[in-house]
Amino acid sequence: MNYSERSRIHKKADLMQKRDYKVAASNDFLRHAVFDLNIGELRALSFITSLIKPTDTPGLYIEFSLDIYCDIAGLNKSDGHVISNVKESIKKLRDESFWMINSKGQHELLSFINDPVIDPTTKHVRLQISQSYERFVIGLTGLGDYTQHDLICTLPMKSNYSYRLYWLLRSYIFREKIVEYDVDELKEIFGCSNLASYKNFNLFKKRVLNPAVDEINEYADIEVTYEPGKKIGKRVVSVIFYIKNKNTKNLLLSTKKANEVLNQYI
């Protein structure tokens, strides 16, 4: 084995370790935050969140390399558009706000990050976790009501609906195995409530639920099935999800498949 081959093996091992970093967020955020982020922006948000340590305190700044992020996320750096797309995703995270309902029933408009700075030569990124997002991702150990998962569970996903459904269902895995959601509430969480075509449940199932469930079952650490729930007349108004942790064999297979997808450009 020559030096180049050894170096490539070591790089893959290092990337696999970083893909096992934990993404942790409060269940309140995972279940109730409403925001409009595409797949690239969700991937970047997950990665940034995975860099937060349990011992970190408010006022946190995060630093990373765009090149390393692309390797971890399975993005092709030789594609001239990839780096600019990642920069655009970071910009969107800076510009995007999201609604949360607080304990008083009031709707709060919150944000994710502040003041991102990117060195065009080194591609080094420095940004601050916003004060409003901090409360959902920092100091969670003492709160208890939070969920964490390995970063790799979502990195290979191609649909933003897969991310949102996974986060939603993953937040229930240790307490409930059967979760029922109103269809309208799901559409609100997924950010597609304004799409007229999804008023038809069969289309919503075909274009949103089925692809999301397929990707979760392929790459993540849980298994999901679902069925229509309550009906008003012929209209389906709720969905019942059945969730369980994958056994060790299936989890290893999913992780292996995810790494193979993510390593295609290494």
What is the DSSP annotation of 179-194?
A: EEEEHHHHHHHHT-TT
State both tokens at 15. 């990337």
- Looking at residue 199, its pLDDT comes to 81
For residue 175, what are the CA distances in angstroms to 66, 73, 111, 147, 199?
Answer: 37, 30, 29, 11, 31
Q: Where are the alpha helices (DSSP H) in 54-81?
A: 66-73
- Looking at residue 3, its pLDDT comes to 60
State both tokens at 59. 């006022």
- Looking at residue 80, its pLDDT comes to 82
**Going from the N-terminus, what domains does the chain have, and what CATH number goes with each?**
13-155 (1.10.10.10), 159-266 (1.10.10.10)
Residues with pLDDT less than 70, the chain: 1, 3-4
Q: Where are the alpha helices (DSSP H) in the chain?
A: 3-19, 27-32, 39-50, 66-73, 82-95, 131-137, 160-170, 183-190, 201-204, 210-219, 248-262
Q: Which amino acid is at 208?
A: V
- Looking at residue 99, its pLDDT comes to 86
Provide the phi-psi class of 115: left if phi over 0, else alpha when psi is between -120 and 50, else beta: left
Query: Residue 45 contacts by C-beta under 8 Å, 6 or more apart in sequence?
Result: 37, 93, 112
Q: How many CB atoms lie within 10 A of CB 156?
A: 22
Q: Which amino acid is at 175?
A: R
Residues 113-122: contacts with CB under 8 Å, at least 24 apart: 113/48, 116/90, 116/91, 118/66, 118/87, 118/90, 122/65
91/12 Cα distance (integer angstroms): 29
- Looking at residue 4, its pLDDT comes to 65
- Looking at residue 193, its pLDDT comes to 80
